[in-house]
Structure 1
Amino acid sequence: MWGSEGKGTISIVIADLTIVSFFANVFVGSSMSYFASKFKTEEILPFAYLWSILIGILIPVLFSFNHTLEYSNYLIALSVLSSLLAANVNLFVGQQNIKLFNLYTVLQQIVHIVFIIIVVYLIKITSVNSYFLAQISCFGALFLVSTFQVLKHCDFKRISFSKEIGNKLFDYGWKTQLSAFLQFLNNRLSFYFLEYFKGIVSVGVFSVGIAFSEAIWTVSRSLSVVLYADIINNKNSNEAIEKTKISLRVSFLITLLFIVVMLIIPAQLYSMIFGKDFSQTKEIVLFLSPGILAIAVSNIIGYYFAGINKLRILNVKAMIGLIFTAISSFYIIPRWGIRGACVITSISYCLSSGLLFWRFYQITEFRVQDFILSKTEINLLLNKVLKKK
């Protein structure tokens, strides 16, 4: 409906929103999950809510110099509401309530689509603004519902701001978010180089391929969250390593399957679904596929290191990928455009993931079997899918 230009606008605003979320996640991200089992909810949630509001306003105001006033207002609303919702959802992870985490992860997509339909077809706002209005409504509704579920178990008399707890949240949070922010820049820097050298339309085309990559990573990220919740509540290091290896092979094989399926789909089908502007989608996925597979593996290992509070390697891994992306983009994207951005992104993913992979297998024995499901594990997966005991 909005074409490649509209898709490009959405991609840039959502990229800015993601940058805001990295600052917000110092208190509402992994630190919320990590300390949920160590402190009372009433002691950590006030920090998360207050930080969400402050960062959700401050960072978008700084970004307003590069956007129209209209999009800046959308970014402020999206930033505050998405951060508040993230605080609740990550609290569920720390409480090992994976059911609620999964529910809200899925609902963010479904409710957003429902509100888009309402805004476009009932309210009759058909511009790209409808995307942002729908997303604001989605975040707001889910935050209210999740807050009710969180606060009904809280004792309001115990709400407090402890300097000691605040310092611990900040110390853990900024270390994990530094790594995540560097990785994000590694993932999205090509957007800004493409916009500068080739225009917003090329960003829209390239972003569809990236969206497919991130859709495939859903399996890896879901496994990672479950693994992370288990590790931070588990004191047995050997058991944690074994569970990490099981998650590794499941993530590797399922991701490989998805990539093969996407490459089998005819290029014409992508054009039929997304429009003639997106005829390069299959080619983009092909170039990105080695990096997609690499990140699917490194996501699992990264959450293992985060779960045992070994964060330095995550920062080094992200920095290596970012440096390669920044330097190579200056030379390759002006010459090769979208194709060059794909090659750079894929190589960067492989380089950064390779370091994490090497570090993990320094502390454990490498086995080819780590990437091959056993008969017992296949049966277990089938039983879970079929809901059999």
Structure 2
Amino acid sequence: MKQNTIFKTFVSRFLILILNFGLVIYSTNMWGSSGKGLISIIIADLTIISFFANVFVGSSMSYFAKKIRTEEMLLFAYLWAVITGIMIPVLFSFSHASEYSGYLIALSVMSSLLTANINLFVGQQNIKMFNVYTVLQQVVHIIFIIIIVYFVKITSVNAYFIAQISCFTLLFITSAVQLTRKAHFKGILLSKKIAFQMFSYGWKIQLSTFLQFLNNRLSFYFLEYFKGIVSVGIFSVGIAFSEAVWTVSRSLSVVLYADVINNTNSNDALEKTKISLRISFLITLLFIGMMLIIPANWYAMIFGKDFSQTKEIVLLLSPGILAIAVSNIIGYYFAGINKLRILNIKSLVGLLLTIISSFYIIPRWGIRGACIINSASYCLSSGVLFWRFYRITEFRIRDFILSKAEINVLMRKLVKK
């Protein structure tokens, strides 16, 4: 694993973290807790849809990038993105407000098309383009929000969704041009064998991801049902902090995944996993400490008076944030070696805890209860993954501590940059 690639990926993810917080601050102040709650629900719906789309446009694109011709994979991925992006939001419209169905369809289609291209970059080990497009998703989204709110004069929460659709569309077009310059689509047929290969790998990894998503987001729906949309908006800011911190482990995971699927040396892959694991553990611990140092009244000042509970939410979520940050690394290792069963088991265990406890705890304790449930679920599911990983390798405390040599390398790169 190239240290320079890890460093650049970390820098790009840290930039995304900053931009994401800027967007959260703006949306809470612009549209309040109810507007933020609506955005959170629509984005949660979009994430659910993406799990179905990602059977073809997700990790399958990375895993088979050097095994199947680019144009053959893109043909399946693009068709699947359009089909799922239209059909599933239509089904959702029967249980959700139809006012936002059009936005959800456009977001689903364009997000899936762009995801296919980005994951293909990962499989080609073109991490530079992966980093560029993940950062641009935040940058371009913010630029379009500025244009739509302050120049087009659309000031309702609709501006958020219109800007995001415009962002996905622009980035899909530019990335597609890059990927298809040397592709030859003429005469390409839909191969059942390729479809089966991509589907077989894709649905297994997406099942795990979907179950983990439910662990992360099911509390939104329980809170909306028992306590109302405002509580979802307040709770979502704490979750936004969690996901911002996870950008560190996810950036390391992407680099590790691209390396593992192209690496035939199992011992080398294990050692690289442990290096990523300890970097993720220590940096996540640092970020959590920084968030807890910030005075509670600062959160209310930054996000608005409705969000005075944010520090307490972050504190209650902290154990789970740290557990997931580390287990993300191990999860991508198992995905890279096509050992997907354990990912499904760990996600299912966490989900069962979330469902069973939510019916009792959230009606009584509200947002605090949702935090406790999420954190407990994260720790339990991560514990299952740790147990499986350390059955195939020796457990060492130093797996979580950077060596002097690694610290020196990191410091030299920081100084150089």
TM-score in terms of structure 1 length: 0.99
Greater shift in the superposed pair: 264-273 or 155-164: 155-164
Aligned with 1:305 (options 330, 334, 342):
334
| 1: CA distance, partners of 2:317 / 2:131 | 27
Superimposed CA distance per residue, residues 180-238 of structure 1 (whole angstroms, 9 cap, x where no aligned partner): 00000111000000000000000000000000100000010000000000000000000
Partner Cα distance (2:413, 2:248) in 1: 15
Match 1:238 to one of 238, 256, 267: 267
Q: What amino acid maps onto 1:25 in structure 2?
A: N
Q: Distance in 1 between matches of 2:309 and 2:210?
A: 28
Match of 1:65, SS state, is coil
CA RMSD of aligned residues (A): 0.8
- Cα distance, 1:43 vs. partner? 1.7
Alignment: residue pair count: 388
**2:294 corresponds to 1:262:** no
Find the counterpart in structure 2 of residue 182 from structure 1: 211
| Preserved CA contact (<8 Å) 1:248 1:297 | yes
Aligned-pair CA distance for 1:385: 2.7
Structure 2: how far apart are the matches of 1:385 and 1:18? 35
Matched with 2:170 is 141
Tell me which of 70, 79, 84 is aligned to 2:99. Answer: 70
Letter of the structure 2 residue corresponding to residue 179 of structure 1: S
Name the CA distance, whole Å, in 2 between partners of 1:229 and 1:304: 10
1:348 correspondence with 2:377: yes
**1:217 correspondence with 2:238:** no
Where do 5+ consecutive residues of structure 2 fail to align? 1-29
Query: Which AA in structure 1 matches 2:97?
Result: T
Amino acid in structure 2 at the alignment position of 1:289: S
Report the alpha carbon displacement of residue 245 of structure 1 after superposing the two structures with TM: 0.1
Report deviation, 1:305.
Answer: 0.2
| 1:195-344 matches, cutoff 5 A | 195-344=224-373
Task: Find the aligned partners of 2:240 and 2:395 in 1 and give their Cα distance.
Answer: 32
Could you tell me which residue of structure 1 aligns to residue 201 of structure 2?
172
Match of 1:150 among 164, 175, 179: 179
Cα shift readout 1:77-106 (whole Å, capped 9, x = no counterpart): 000000000000000000000000011111
Equivalent position amino acid for 1:148 in 2: V
Instruction: After TM superposition, give the deviation of residue 271 of structure 1 in Å.
Output: 0.6
Q: Is 1:108 aligned with 2:137?
A: yes
Amino acid at match of 1:184: F
Confirm or deny: 8 A CA contact 1:42 1:160 kept in the other structure.
no
Greater Cα shift, 14-23 or 159-168? 159-168
Distance, in Å, in 2 between the alignment partners of 1:149 and 1:350 is: 41
Other-structure match for 1:28: 57
1:42–1:158 Cα contact (<8 Å) kept: no
TM-score with structure 2 setting the length:
0.92
Counterpart amino acid of residue 411 in structure 2: L
Paired residue for 2:4?
Answer: none
CA distance in 2, matches of 1:126, 1:153: 43
Paired residue for 1:58?
Answer: 87
Q: Is 1:120 the equivalent of 2:175?
A: no
Distance in 1 of aligned mates of 2:354 and 2:376: 9
Tell me whether 157-166 or 86-95 shows the greater mean CA deviation. Answer: 157-166
Could you tell me which amino acid in structure 2 is paired with residue 5 of structure 1? S
Amino acid aligned to 1:300: I
C-alpha distance after superposition, 1:113-153 (max 9, x if no partner): 11111111111111111100000001001001101111112
C-alpha distance in 1 between matches for 2:164 and 2:54: 19
Question: In the alignment, which of 32, 44, 64 is matched to residue 15 of structure 1?
Answer: 44
Q: Which amino acid is 2:199 matched to? A: F
In structure 1, stretches of 5+ residues that fail to align are none
Provide the secondary structure at the position in 2 that maps to 1:156.
coil
CA distance in 2, matches of 1:58, 1:39: 27
Query: Pick from 366, 370, 374: which aligns with 2:395?
Result: 366
Shift of 1:42: 1.4
CA-CA distance at 1:158 after TM superposition: 5.8
Alpha carbons 1:43, 1:158 under 8 Å: kept = no
Q: Which residue of 2 aligns with 1:159?
A: 188
Deviations 1:166-191 (A, max 9, x none): 10000000000000000001110000
Cα distance in structure 2, aligned partners of 1:285 and 1:6: 21
Where 2:93 maps in the other structure, the secondary structure is helix
* 1:383 to partner: Cα distance: 2.5
Greater shift, 160-169 or 362-371, is seen at 160-169
Q: Which one-letter code corresponds to 2:358 in the other structure?
A: S
CA distance in 2 between counterparts of 1:365 and 1:263 reads: 33
**Candidates 47, 53, 59, aligned match of 2:76:** 47
